[in-house]
Amino acid sequence: MSVEVYVLQDDETTSQQQLTFGTGPDSDKKNKTSAPHITKKIPDKDICMIARQLATLLRAGMPLVPALAVLGEQLQTTHKSSRFFYGSDENPLAVVMKQVADSVSSGSTLADAARKYPNVFSDLFVNMVAAGETGGTLEDILMQLAKMLEKRVNLTAKVKSAIAYPVMMIIVAVCVVTFLLSFVVPGLTEIFLEMNRSLPWPTLMLISVSSFMKSYLWLIFLAVCAICFAIGIWMRTKEGRLFADRFKLKLPLFGSILFKLEISRMTRTLGALLASGVPILSALEISKKVIQNRFIANALDSVKNFVGKGDTIADAVKKTGLFPPIIFYILATGQVSGNIETGLAEIAEMYDQEVDRLTKTLVSLLEPAILLVMGVVVGFIVLAVLLPIFEINPAL
């Protein structure tokens, strides 16, 4: 049965370039079964659920292969109760879990089986699972991974919700003002123009703006759409993405939130990988992939290059000049005590709290600011309409 979101490919021809830890031979080459490949990246919240449920099943004493099969059945049951069916009655993620269970049953490790689906299981997942299998602590590693992804998802959702509300208020305010100037005000101002009287400057300004909006509204709309489209195309280029990411970090308050969110994501991932036994260079490469800001990702790439040349991670971080001094000192202290993973986790928790505080501050500042601007604009419109009436009324 074909599914639209799948691209069928043979296991033997599957090739993924990964920086891996504990990579073993692919025993599935003996069993040439076709494996579905999901073309869209699975959200972190779904991977978090898979890791947590699999860890719970393993801790309950269930062997790995039956646990994977149960997890696939659970995903399929949940899928059937949903309104969305991805174009078929099969849940692509459930099919992947069944294929992973088959690979593990044939002798493959869980890490090698998961590595075939890079859009489902990230390098972070694969390498931590490989470390867990090597050390015999798979269920603990999976639970640690689930908690880490859960914190990442919650923090990102908190920032998005804090930004989404002011953005929605701005959009509504712009739409209301545009509607007033384009459709309501012209009918009122025509009355004043027919009186052939001198009008106060606020009314004249309002008439000019309203006439312009009424005459060129569609042109303005098309121009805004064209500009947004051009910016979107430019931001897909390497130079445009880098410029936009650097510009985001310079925004007042927003830039600080985005920067600390990325630092939290980076340090938590790096700490979890090092705690799992992943080599430092591989951990830095994987941590770079979870960073969404290319400017910070390039800085972490420089850290990796410095470490590869023999520098300590603390000295490498200091050389970039991008990261705050407190990160250098915490890392340096962790290196001396031999517990750098704990230092990275503490940095992540510290920046989590900072992001939470800044998002609350952002919302508390933007809400009254937007309402104030909206009140001033609407107040000016009302004043411009009423002033001629106040001047005419004494003569009546």
Q: Which two tokens stand for residue 36?
A: 């579905």
Is 9-136 assigned to CATH 2.120.10.30?
A: no
Query: Is the Cα torsion angle 109, 113, 118, 121 positive or negative in sign?
Result: negative
Percentage of the chain modeled with pLDDT above 90: 17
Does position 167 have pLDDT exceeding 70, yes or no? yes
- Nearest to 296, CA basis, from 276, 277, 278, 317: 317
Q: Which two tokens stand for residue 7?
A: 């691209």
Tens digit of each residue's pLDDT (9 = 90 or more) over 65-110: 999 998 888 887 765 555 444 445 677 888 888 999 999 999 999 9
Residues 317 and 82: their CA atoms lie apart, in Å, by: 46
Identify the pLDDT of residue 86.
Answer: 46
pLDDT band, residue 392 (cuts 50/70/90)? low
Tens digit of each residue's pLDDT (9 = 90 or more) over 218-272: 898 899 999 999 998 998 898 899 999 999 899 888 889 899 999 998 998 888 8
pLDDT band, residue 305 (cuts 50/70/90)? very high
Does position 13 have pLDDT exceeding 50, yes or no? no
Burial 52-89 (b: 16+ CB within 10 A, else e): bbbbbbbeeeeebbebbbbbbebbbeebeeeeeebeee
Higher-confidence residue: 30 or 294?
294
Residues 259 and 50: their CA atoms lie apart, in Å, by: 29
Mean pLDDT along residues 329-335: 88
What's the chain's Rg over C-alpha atoms? 29
Query: In this structure, are strands 34-35 and 9-10 parallel, antiparallel, or unpaired?
Result: antiparallel
Identify the pLDDT of residue 204.
Answer: 85
Say which CATH architecture domain 148-396 belongs to: Up-down Bundle (1.20)
Residues 376 and 202: their CA atoms lie apart, in Å, by: 13
Residues 25 and 108: their CA atoms lie apart, in Å, by: 8
Q: In sequence order, what E strands does the chain have?
A: 9-10, 34-35
Q: Which two tokens stand for residue 373?
A: 């601007």
**What is the DSSP secondary-structure string of 281-328?**
HHHHHHHHHH---HHHHHHHHHHHHHHHTT--HHHHHHHHS-S-HHHH
Burial 157-174 (b: 16+ CB within 10 A, else e): ebbeebbeebeebeeebe
DSSP secondary structure letter of residue 338: T
**Annotated domain spans of the chain:** 9-136, 148-396
Q: Report yes or no: 149 and 47 within 8 Å, Cβ to Cβ.
A: yes
Residues 19 and 281: their CA atoms lie apart, in Å, by: 9
* Partners of 10 in beta bridges: 34
Identify the pLDDT of residue 80.
Answer: 56
Identify the pLDDT of residue 230.
Answer: 93
Evaluate whether 9-136 and 148-396 have a shared fold: yes
